[in-house]
Chain A
Amino acid sequence: MVADIGYGVIFIAFLVALYSVGAAIYGDRTKSAGWVESARRAMLLLWPLISISAAALIYLLVTNHFEVSFVYEVISRDMPTYLKITAWWGGQAGSLVFWSWLMSAFASLVTLRKWDRDREFLPWVIVVTSLTTAFFLALVVFYENPFAEFWRGPDGKLIADASGNAIKSMFAPMLNASLAIPTDGNGLNPFLRNPGMIIHPPMLYLGFVSFVIPFAFAIAALITGRTDDRWIRITRRWTLWAWLFLSCGLVLGSRWAYDVLGWGGFWGWDPVEIAALMPWLTGTAFLHSVMIQEKRGMLKQWNMLLIILTYALVIFGTFLTRSGILSSVHAFAESAIGPAFFTFIGITFVGSIALLIYRWPDLRGETEMKSMLSREALFLLNNLLFISVLVVCFWGVVFPIISEIFTGQKVTVGPPFYQTATGPLFAGLMLLMGVAPLSAWGHSSLKTLGRAIWKSVIAALVITIFLFFTYTANPIALVAFFLVAMVILVTLQEFWRGTAARMKAQSENAFTAFWRLVGRDRRRYGGYVIHLSMMLMAIGILGINLFQIQTQGTVPVNSSLSLGGYTVKYDSVAQFPGPDGQQVTRAVVSVYQGNNYLGDLYPRIDYYPTEKQNMTIPGDRPTLKDDLYIILVDWQPTSTNGATFKIFVNPLVNWLWIGAIIFLFGIIFAAWPDRDAERVPARSHHIHQPDANQTGAAD
């Protein structure tokens, strides 16, 4: 009954979404505000409808209705309630409903803003967002229905296909059929029962979904011919939030991999990770490039292309991870939604490109640059580098497909390719991060840049030489650390110069000057904080990639293993049931550095009998200097006679997570509206004091 309601409502939502698209197009063509308003209301109806369906699904999950196929697939009786709720996005069908729910929520948020100046955009924004929502709803309605149930024939036998797999159906497949109710479900994949994994998909989906909004406005701009940068100004904050969510999704996924997958790293360059990284790359390029359009009116065509690419990569990424196309030879889960995704991507991408080509002449801006070292030029170089990384990633993902088609040979493109190819590109981006803040809009020369940067360069060189003598002789590491130091110093210098200028001009003290400085231009200084946080994250990434050491060994109780100055002694092992139905094997190890006792760690193996799966949870000792990471190797027996441990020492990696938190603050700060322009006191001798570092106006 509840399942029927759930499906019925989703089906209605699908029809409403289609109506919304049609009404919006009709309303725009006939210049009828009434039809457009009707379309808008239809679109607003989507979120409540999908919420009802989602509520139905959650109800079914929480009350163990195993006759519903999705419930059977993702939960089991022994799971705690909160996990049953999060199982909503723990399987393909449910996660499609979740995607639609988020998409409709954001689309509704957009239409609730004031539209007075941009009435002509409204119909097309509705068309794009409703069309996307309709697509995902169509996938649910026609392909992956979470409400489909299991049935028995009138003879009581389970209705199944030739291989014995129960058939899932929304409606009774034959007369007098009744529901077949299994006693227990499969249970959620143990990997998904972890806090990091719980919020990682929602965060990623939020990022994907929110990038649809700038895309919708871009398409609206192209269709209506409003080729000025109005659409960019409207979506400026959306882009920032979209970028925030997507970045968080990526970081959370990395943290989860580090915490739970037990291979001592956080990014494996596997196709699913890359599928989520690619829209982030174009999104970051877009974030920078729109600033050029805002400040200098250039690159309108390029910005359109970037946002079109981002949307296409969002859908393409979702497609890659769901369609089975990237799986290895054991593609047990080819899904029928592959072709549907492919058609949707094909149509939307081809349509967007065609639209862009059509409007190409209207998008010509006043492209005039004074110098190759101006901020515009450097931002363009930034874009080139991001797109280059994208090319590397895309090619690495697509090449195995090409190889298989043309030579019949399956190849794997693994981490070495990506690391070698993207390393220098990221280094180039770091170099730019150090130079671009000092470059001015419009005009910069080697001399002015040199003057601004030489102190940081010298200081960074000193730091690098110091590291050479105390830490490492690895040339890549030294170059990388030099760049990191330079960027940090340049960025801090920017804060300092601005503060100092205010202190002198407004006679404020350092604290007030700093506060007012960043408050008046949150986007710029938030951006600098983001750059700083990226450098902290770079330190973490460099540390673990260049200096990680590991060892594995089997030791009996009271013996120890050594690595990197640490000694790990195996103390004891215990087995006991866990709170989630798992069987836990937990070892206690004590950690020493020399003769110093540092503490105990508890690496463990959780065995889930229903899914017959092991989870290796590391014992982890994080410090700023490094991370001691110990796992019990789960394919070897664990007893007091001998347990096999794998130990990693990951230098500097915790700077990655610290940087990520600061990153979060940086984006929130950058997205926050600026404080009101200051009311300059009447007696002040300055009417408007330009900042010392806003050299654009000084020209």
Chain B
Amino acid sequence: MQSTSRNFSENARHGIADEKLQAALSRLSHGFPLKRLEAMARLPEFEALRDDAQGIKEHTLANLDTYLEAYETRVIESGGHVHWASDAADACDIILGICRDAGAKTVTKGKSMISEEIAINEYLEENGIQPIETDLGEYIIQLRHEPPSHIIAPAIHLSKGQVAETFKKEHQHLPPGRNLDEPRALLEEARGELRRKFIAADVGITGANMVIAETGTSIIVTNEGNGDLTQTLPKTHIVIASIEKVVPTLEDATTILRVLARSATGQDMSVYTTFSTGPKQAQDLDGPENYHVVLLDNGRSKMLGGEFHDMLRCIRCSACLNHCPVYKAIGGHAYGWVYSGPMGAVLIPGLLGLAETHDLPGASTFCGKCEEVCPMRIPLPRMLRSWREKSHQASLGSQKSRFGLAAWAFLARRPALYRLCMGLGVSLLALFGRRGRFSALPLAGGWTASRDLAAPEAGTFMAQWKQGKR
């Protein structure tokens, strides 16, 4: 998709002004964090599990080549095919090739952020193949031609009324006067629409929450069971996974599963956890005849060992979004691309370039909540700061604030001059601020737009201390 990250501040203003979005964000940011806390309280070893999960990821990343090759070997042994894609274009071509070989007209899709990252839907459509999202949230935003606004709840920005409107507009073959007031009715309608498509699809594409080197298995977690139908009914199943999704063993995968849903939605486990290993075997009742895995790099191997290495531990749980004061204020679309929240603000500049996206790492209060709740203890604020260093070095961002900061820094390095200038400034402000505060002030519009500015007391602390005041 076309990024709108360069319009971040304007996007954010739209998000703040959107009352329906604000209601949804308020529910999300109260609901998920509370449920997470309850899930943690039910599991006393949660903190130890976080350490274990982090250790598994660190070990895997340190031996990534070994585990990826072992995984490839197991997939081939089980009758599947592995394709290595260096970037998004590469992955799209590989997937299109598999779809064409299968003679595909329609393709069902389980929810996959990697597929959003490579924009496979647009690519398939351009080439005459119809992709159909089967996760309810993804189905809704596909009908609306919108990107996801949350990595696990893609349609969180919409109210049920908006969804009903969309269904009435898009499902023209159904009676126009039907009642879609209740969520249940929306769900039934989507289920009815999708059931025919599940059966008709020639290819099913799913993502992978993990792939296991020991067994050649891919894992998806869902709450709707749509992933199972996507990968079992069509003749061809394509798994798209980025390279950091590999874990060594089944045991390791289950350790990570124990922190994943708890961190995400506060569930002990997702409703469905589905393992798939290769195509249908002779003794299997169902399953695809062809099983393909597309392993995507798209910049990840370059992150290994560098300042963004820790980001490769991310398991896309969304805890950082759910707890972020900035995400909660503006919603996911403000970030302007497929990822959002703190994890998006770290990932997107690496994928789209900093010139377009420097506002994303810029717009953080560095409150540290994201790192606190991240099951993998990823130091997100430190990495946001790394991007800010690069922005500074490249002279990106507002020239006014760069100039202001440079002027302040010039003074702050010269204590005597600093005292003189600041003392004068403070005296002036105190003189005009005899009412205690300012509701507007030249050069302070950013502050006073939404809040008053307290006037300084007369005289600086340093000057008064020096004069002997105690």
Question: Do A and B originate from a single complex?
Answer: no
